[in-house]
């Protein structure tokens, strides 16, 4: 546990020691604030579903940006060799870096709680869909971070890691469109891999256990693949 906390603390300090965290957070909050104003001005309803839908798309791009340096930069600088020879399990390394990214994501998302609170001052929003929407965003964000960490484990270049991660997530975002090309059980399987199909029920207030299991499975798969990549690097 001590090693895990040390890795999380190190990664969080690294995030905030560089301008990346501040620039990305400022851009995210500016974008969500603009979207919130447009939703209130155009829709004129106490409904945050359009905001959650746009945050989901932003997270597809943001996840790999937050994770691109977690393993790629350490591989480039040679620090990964020191980490691999330290008395720390590979699983602990992966978990610590993932949890640091998740805490960073939560810190970025936390100020957006102001939007539903502001709606509550002037209207009566349905708090069920709001809570479910935030749960869906966190589950999607976790999956994006795990897959972004995996692509970061494949290269020594941060930009390449980010591009690979964004490409992978965008593929999972639109893969359902290719389901008709396969047909039958294969097409149904491809359709089930589409991220939006498992996300958009949450902002409607529907918490389906199948969607929760899907995002948990994608997160676990991303972390396991990252672990295998780290194991491969250890035995090179």
Measured in whole angstroms, how far is the alpha carbon of residue 152 from the centre of its chain?
Answer: 14
Tokens of 21: 């965290």
Residue 235 banded pLDDT, cuts 50, 70, 90: low
Residue 216 banded pLDDT, cuts 50, 70, 90: very high
Q: In 3D, which of 83, 74, 64, 27 has the Cα closest to residue 160?
A: 64
pLDDT reported for residue 182: 65
Give dist(CA 39, CA 135) in Å, integer: 20
Domain span at 133 = 2-234
Q: Is the per-residue pLDDT at 6 higher than 70? A: yes
Residue 45 banded pLDDT, cuts 50, 70, 90: low
pTM of the model: 0.89
Looking at the structure of the chain, the number of domains it has is 1
Tens-digit pLDDT profile for residues 107-147: 989 988 888 888 777 777 778 888 899 999 999 999 999 99
Give dist(CA 160, CA 15) in Å, integer: 19
Burial (Cβ within 10 Å: 0-12, 13-18, ≥19) of residue 210:
exposed
Tens-digit pLDDT profile for residues 219-228: 999 999 999 9
Percent residues over pLDDT 70 in the chain: 86
Angle, CA 25 vertex, CA 23 and CA 30 arms, to 5°: 95
Choice among 63-67, 124-128, 134-138, 213-217 with the minimum mean pLDDT:
124-128
As a whole number, the mean pLDDT across the chain is 83
Cβ neighbors of 101 (< 8 A, separation 6 or more) are: 11, 66, 67, 70, 145, 148, 149
Give the residue-averaged pLDDT of 143-168.
91
Give the residue-averaged pLDDT of 58-74.
84
Q: How many CB atoms lie within 10 A of CB 8?
A: 19
Tens-digit pLDDT profile for residues 88-110: 788 888 899 999 999 999 998 99
Tens-digit pLDDT profile for residues 68-78: 888 887 777 76
Give dist(CA 39, CA 59) in Å, integer: 19
Tell me the HSE value of 20 on the side-chain side, using a 13 A CA sphere: 18
Tens-digit pLDDT profile for residues 175-185: 766 666 666 66
Measured in whole angstroms, how far is the alpha carbon of residue 109 from the centre of its chain?
Answer: 11
- The sign one gets for the Cα dihedral 197, 144, 138, 219 is positive
pLDDT reported for residue 184: 63
Give the residue-averaged pLDDT of 41-51.
71
pLDDT reported for residue 217: 94
Give dist(CA 63, CA 165) in Å, integer: 8
């Amino acid at each position: 546990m001590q090693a895990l906390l040390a890795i999380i603390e190190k990664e969080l300090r690294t995030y905030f020691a560089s301008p990346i965290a501040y620039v990305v957070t400022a851009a995210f909050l500016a974008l969500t604030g603009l979207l919130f104003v447009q939703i209130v001005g155009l829709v004129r309803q106490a409904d945050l579903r359009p905001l959650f839908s746009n945050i989901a798309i932003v997270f597809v791009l943001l996840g790999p940006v937050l994770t691109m340096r977690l393993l790629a930069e350490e591989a480039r600088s040679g620090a990964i060799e020191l980490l691999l020879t330290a008395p720390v399990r590979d699983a602990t390394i992966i978990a610590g870096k993932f949890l640091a990214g998740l805490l960073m994501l939560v810190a970025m998302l936390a100020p957006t709680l102001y939007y539903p609170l502001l709606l509550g001052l002037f209207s009566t929003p349905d708090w069920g869909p709001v809570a479910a929407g935030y749960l869906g965003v966190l589950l999607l964000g976790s999956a994006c971070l795990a897959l972004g960490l995996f692509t970061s484990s494949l290269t020594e270049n941060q930009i390449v890691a980010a591009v690979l991660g964004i490409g992978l997530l965008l593929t999972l975002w639109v893969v359902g469109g290719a389901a008709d090309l396969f047909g039958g059980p294969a097409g149904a399987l491809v359709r089930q891999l589409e991220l939006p199909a498992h996300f958009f029920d949450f902002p409607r207030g529907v918490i389906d256990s199948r969607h929760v299991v899907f995002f948990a499975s994608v997160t676990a798969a991303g972390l396991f693949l990252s672990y295998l990549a780290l194991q491969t690097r250890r035995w090179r």
